[in-house]
Amino acid sequence: MKEAPAIESYAISLRMQNRSILESIDLSIPLNRFLSIVGPNGAGKSMLIKIILGLVTPSSGKILILGQRPQALIPCDVGYVPQRKAFDPRFPAKTEELILSGKTHRWPFFIRSEQKDEVRAALSRLQSEHLYGKSVHELSGGELQRVFLARAFIEARKILILDEPAAGIDTFGESDLYKILEDYRETTKALVILVTHDLEVALHHSSDVLLINKKQIAFGNPDETLSQDNIHRAFGHSMHEHHGGHHLYD
């Protein structure tokens, strides 16, 4: 039996204030895969995520997430780790409240003891139990990223979306992050979506790659999608320039 796609899109385009943000994105991917969305800055990667999350409606085309309109999705099915942590720095919040909000989808007024255990379990997946009880504002960039990951991990998602998760990861280690994500996919059979501009990461960690620069350049397995020709079309330079860990588009 053919697996139903977790995400299916037909020629979705997005225009905002008369500017084209995304053009004809065609995507079909089942659960239990690791998809990297790759493209230079301003390629529309984050906007595509917002469409998948149902926060932005495409101007044309059709998209189905788990067989439904994005707006009709149940929030617990999709975990999301935003790139920019845009929360209000004046809001008094502790890590356990933020992590639990990933499950309750509300800000918790008080936390029951079994909920405390769930939060601790989510943190322990990231070897970060020591972050429990800390004020969100005291955290470093890397610690904050781990708390947001724990927030996504607190429930078994069908789709887990991470927007540039390696940004700000310092003490944690990037390779650990991809190992954790890979483990997560194996245990939950979720579709893990990684937004990145790092070609090496996309090439080595994903099962599928979507290469975009406003338009869809290519979609498929990493080796074919990230061919020299395709990369040149997306980034305007060849992959060799990308070696040595130096990111041209940081």
Partner 1 sequence: MIEILQYPFMLRALIACLLIGGLASYLSCFIVQRRMSFLGSGLAHSCLGGVALALWLDVEPLLLVSLFSVFVSLAISWTTQNTQLEQDTSIGIFFSMATAMGIIFLSLRTQYTGDATTYLFGSILSVQNSDLYFAGGFCLLLILLFPMWSRWAYAGFDRDLAQADRICVKRDDYMLHFVLALAVVLCLKVLGIILLAAFLVIPGASARMISKTFTSMTLKSIVIGILSSVGGLYLSYIYDLPSGATIILVQSAIFIVIALTMRLRRSN
What is the binding site for partner 1 (CB under 8 A)? 53-55, 73, 75, 78, 80, 82, 86-88, 90-94, 97-98, 101, 104-110, 135
Rounded least distance, CB 55 to partner 1, Å: 6
Quickly list DSSP for 93-118: -BHHHHHHHHHHSS--SS--HHHHHH
Q: Which is nearer to partner 1, 137 or 204 (CB)?
A: 137
Rounded least distance, CB 91 to partner 1, Å: 5
Assigned token pair, 16: 């905002």
Q: Which is nearer to partner 1, 1 or 86 (CB)?
A: 86
Please check whether residue 192 is in contact with residue 184, taking contact to mean a CB–CB distance below 8 angstroms. Answer: yes
Please check whether residue 202 is in contact with residue 162, taking contact to mean a CB–CB distance below 8 angstroms. Answer: no
Please check whether residue 6 is in contact with residue 165, taking contact to mean a CB–CB distance below 8 angstroms. Answer: no
Q: How far, in Å, CA of 70 to CA of 56, rounded?
A: 9
Rounded least distance, CB 179 to partner 1, Å: 26
Q: How far, in Å, CA of 196 to CA of 166, rounded?
A: 8
Rounded least distance, CB 65 to partner 1, Å: 13
Please check whether residue 228 is in contact with residue 235, taking contact to mean a CB–CB distance below 8 angstroms. Answer: no
At 237, is the secondary structure helix, strand, or coil? coil
Neighbours of 131 (CB within 10 A): 21
Q: Which is nearer to partner 1, 100 or 126 (CB)?
A: 100
Q: Which is nearer to partner 1, 153 or 235 (CB)?
A: 153
Rounded least distance, CB 209 to partner 1, Å: 24
Q: Which is nearer to partner 1, 74 or 248 (CB)?
A: 74
